[in-house]
A and B are shown apart, each in its own frame.
Chain A
């Protein structure tokens, strides 16, 4: 039970970090920028980031 909370805490922290780093902050736009982070990366990106299927399975399992 404790382990699950720790895992979740870590995943929540990562989720929060990724939301900020991929979606927020100063945005540079225009021709001057060779940007890697495009709009679709945003929520699709968060999905990819937490990509470890094990993590998701663990979370779902941990709920019951």
Chain B
């Protein structure tokens, strides 16, 4: 009988607290939650047979729910869904072997929560109104110097050149928005990671690690950003347990 690991949490000074917290929760398919303790770190688990653990809607949401509840009262590192080890003994050994890395990560996320900020826009629509990008666009429609003749090939190049310049202006614009977001987040002490131009619609995909107490501050920052950029759509989600801020692979 395997054991699936939900998360790794920091043990509190009260030894009975973990039992109390877990007794009030249920894991996937209503499973009881157990734990394996190694010094001051605890792996939260439940019994699992590999073939019974299916990544379907219900299981994954139950799983996320457990982690979410735990994160309200504990410092924790979420574990990826589907991590099943053979026995509690194996889990204990794993915790011992990786103790330092786990501790470092727990310290990093203590008292903090994760937020996701996605910025959307219709890039095709924006490209048809390059004035939105700012002064860079002034140069977009300039013919390169020395272009005298006309020919179908030169026309083609000019067309492509304009497309290229608009694309470059868009990238510069995205960089400037990221800079603006970063500057505005200084006031809430947010640690941010950014992905640019994820696809046609999603120009920025950002993640922040912030002290829980600064949640409202961050919401306020995003509201201001939305006002500053009426042609973009900001979507802020959270607070999340720190899924994206754990950098440890355990083997």
Contacts and interface: CB of A to CB of B under 8 A. Distances in A.
A17 B239 CA distance: 11
A26 B55 contact: no
B64 A26 contact: no
B246 interface: yes
B64 A32 contact: no
A20 B244 contact: yes
B94 A36 contact: no
B83 A32 contact: no
B246 A25 contact: yes
A21 B61 CA distance: 9
Contact of A34 (B78, B85, B105): B85
Interface string A35-56: 1110001000100110100000
B81 A37 contact: yes
A26 B80 contact: yes
A25 B63 CA distance: 13
Contacts of A45: 55
Chain B interface main SS type: mixed
A22 B235 CA distance: 21
Interface in B72-113: 77-86, 90, 94, 105
Contact of B81 (A12, A14, A22, A34): A22
A27 B7 CA distance: 11
Given A26-B250, A29-B250, A45-B55, A34 B80 contact: no
A22 to B, nearest CB: 5
Nearest to A31: B251
Given A20-B243, A21-B80, A28-B80, A48 B56 contact: yes
A13 B236 CA distance: 11
A28 B251 contact: yes
Contacts of A12: 235, 237
Contacts of A16: 116, 237, 240
A64 interface: no
B11 interface: no
7 contacts: A17-B60, A21-B60, A25-B243, A26-B77, A26-B79, A28-B85, A49-B55
Interface of B: 2, 5, 7-8, 50, 53-57, 60-61, 63-64, 67, 77-86, 90, 94, 105, 116, 235, 237, 240, 243-244, 246, 248-251
Interface of A: 12-14, 16-18, 20-30, 32-37, 41, 45, 48-49, 51
- Top 8 closest pairs, chain A to chain B, by CB: A37-B82, A36-B82, A25-B78, A24-B243, A30-B251, A20-B243, A28-B83, A25-B80
